[in-house]
Amino acid sequence: MKPIQVGLLGIGTVGSGVFKVLQRNQSEIMRRAGRGIEIHTVADLNVERAKALVGNSARVVADANQVVTNPDIDIVVELIGGYGIARELVLKAISHGKHVVTANKALLATHGNEIFAAASAKGVMVAFEAAVAGGIPVIKALREGLTANRIEWIAGIINGTTNFILSEMRSKGLSFAHVLKQAQELGYAEADPTFDIEGIDAAHKLTIMSAIAFGIPVQFDKAYVEGITQLTPEDIRYAEELGYRIKLLGITRRTAQGVELRVHPTLVPAKHLIANVEGVMNSVLAKGDAVGQTLYYGPGAGSEPTASAVIADLVDVTRLHTADPEHRVPHLAFQPEALSDLPILPMTAVATNYYLRLRVANQPGVMADITRIMADAGISIDALLQKEPAEGENQADIIILTHTTTEGVMNGAIAKVEALNTVQGKVARIRQEDLN
């Protein structure tokens, strides 16, 4: 059978990995796919570098339009990134009857509904395993492996940069700024790390997983997103004393009122498996009603790990290339006409437990004032830790762990606590999840 022809848009870190792994494992991949998979054309603005990478194995062009409109190309692999030109090229490839494989989580989280609708209308596939958690096959697990389940919730460490920073802060007691600089020097963080450290990258990935888990449209604009820039070594140390570790988690949960969709630093019990995921590794925990909890772990980025996911998609598309579109796995696991209008909950309606750190004057009555405010708000205190003031200081830290309450109620209580004359500055708030 004639090999399937692939057009590659971008041959940077991931693109070069795709090319190398396809070349190295061509025989194995062909045995699995049932036919060969060949890179026909590579589009990259740096033509000379691209030619040096692919040699005579593929045609190299600077204009990506020559790939997405080429009638000889069956599948377009988009590895450019971003929202602009990538969206234009993906939609153009679909309009020309090409299947698309992409690692672009930002594109799908913001324009996925439009892209999936266009693909369905044209009868082509859009595959995106590499868009979430790099080399971990979590999209396939959620979309196909857990089909029998009513998925209840997902919680994941889905950004390696932030996990590396938090791991280093915990193990070495270093400040956020110090570890961020170290991460940039090691190549784990971009020169502009905003998408990572502010939680945006994780929210893109979580939005996609949430849509697949609950059969809803992608709705990134409704996600609650909070990064790690405000975390201090003190919070990490106090959490450890209380038996917790702080991780930047993406959490999506089905409730009677709607779907939670949130990314923020989270206290997780130190004994939990996900609390022990260190460095740049990723991990996703999914809870189904039939299977219970399942855990997926592995590298969330990197040239060949991400290439592994891209090529897995290429093999899937190759197998189903000639199949009736009605019999393919739907893009978001549920049939397009069966997607739910279950709303995304505002953060104020989300209920969870809390860690609070307050800097207070070391004088009588302070604790009574704070606990009275919590009691009046209906917030039950689970644990309380009062630190001794440093020598020569008249201020001390109080750490409070609460039982479950809503974000809206907690917002009101914190505002009243911060208004006390004995409380210095802002209350540090970190949400806490047991993941049971």
b/e code 295-331 from CB counts within 10 Å (16+ = b): ebbbbbbbbbbbbbbbbbbbbbbbebbeeeeeeeebb
Tokens 């740096």 belong to 46
Backbone φ and ψ of 299, nearest 5°: -70, 130
DSSP label of 337: G
Tokens of 398: 């109080």
**298 near 281, Cβ under 8 Å?**
yes
What element of type H or E holds 326? none
Residue 411 phi, psi (nearest 5): -55, -45
> CA 180, CA 188: separation in Å to the nearest integer?
9
Q: Which of 205, 247, 287, 416 is catalytic?
A: 205
Structure tokens at 153: 């919730």
Contact 357, 234 (CB under 8 A): yes
Nearest alpha carbon to residue 354 among 291, 264, 418, 241? 264
DSSP one-letter code for 433: -
Measured between alpha carbons, how far is 372 from 411 in angstroms, rounded to an integer?
16
Q: Distance from first CA to last CA of the chain, Å, rounded?
A: 50
426 is catalytic: no
Ordered alpha helix ranges (H), 123-249: 138-140, 160-172, 176-185, 194-197, 200-214, 233-241
Q: CA distances (Å), 219 to each of 19, 129, 190, 254, in order?
A: 33, 19, 26, 15
Tokens of 137: 């096959």
User: What's the full length of the chain, in residues?
Assistant: 436
Helix (H, G, I), strand (E, B) or coil at 191: coil
Residue type, 216: I
Token representation of residue 291? 């299977």
Cβ contacts of 129 within 8 Å, gap of 6 or more: 137, 139, 140, 309, 310, 312, 313
Give the separation between CA 195 and CA 229, rounded to whole angstroms. Answer: 12
Give the residue numbers marked as catalytic: 205
